[in-house]
A and B are shown apart, each in its own frame.
Chain A
Amino acid sequence: DIQMTQSPSSLSASVGDRVTITCRASQTITSYLNWYQQKPGKAPKLLIYGASSLESGVPSRFSGVGSGTDFSLTISSLQPEDFATYYCQQSYITPRTFGQGTKLEIK
């Protein structure tokens, strides 16, 4: 199975900050990398697919880059509604493994 490792596991930041979360795959996944946001008690929401494509309706402050094994999600200017847990997921092969999550908290 492909292992997905996110860093950091948790992050404290302030409204207006620029934050970056990284995700590393244990083997190449080309660009089959997706990012999701999950708030407590809610279903995950797709933010970025194909490593860098912004899902329709998602604010442009979210962006993704990467290919091969190294990827990152950047939020350019944190808004209050962005405090949540973020997961990467590889969709290169099954099982479609997720990273362990990054909890973004208010400083």
Chain B
Amino acid sequence: EVQLVESGGHLVQPGGSLRLSCAASGFTFSNYWMHWVRQVSGKGLVWVSRVNSDGSGTNYADSVKGRFTISRDNAKNTLYLQINSLRAEDTAVYFCARGRDSSSSGRPLDYWGQGTLVTVSS
């Protein structure tokens, strides 16, 4: 069974830093691209970042470029999101998701974790 479990979200002051983790199991982690998506309470889904299967390629939304860093450790089956210079508008639930990016059809996000809440407030 595919499982993605996020952790690391908590209350942090503006300007602070945080590292989110996503532990993967039930599939060959190193074969898949991985993504982060966030959602402000009561609002829609916003794509944040993705990393390719071996960690050598990354992409970011403009709103987080330069502050967020996505990475992965395939030996530990874990995805990370380092978040620096946190702002109030970064307050959201952060989901990790598995991407079928190597597929020729759709390249969807087919499995999602339950999310971890990041709250930025003084």
Contact = CB atoms under 8 A, between A and B. Distances in A.
B64 to A, nearest CB: 10
Given A1-B62, A45-B112, A96-B35, A33 B47 contact: no
Interface in A26-58: 31-34, 36, 38, 42-46, 49-51, 53, 55
Contacts of A46: 108-111
A62 interface: no
B112 A49 contact: no
Interface of B: 35, 37, 44-47, 50, 59-62, 95, 97, 100-101, 105-115
B73 to A, nearest CB: 22
B47 A95 contact: yes
Contact size range, A: 20 to 34
B77 to A, nearest CB: 19
Nearest to B4: A43
Contact of B112 (A34, A44, A53, A89): A44
B62 A95 contact: yes
Contact of A34 (B106, B113, B115): B106
Contact of A43 (B100, B105, B113): B113
In this complex, which of A1, A33, A36 has the most chain B Cβ atoms within 10 angstroms of its Cβ?
A36
A31 B44 contact: no
Contacts of A51: 106
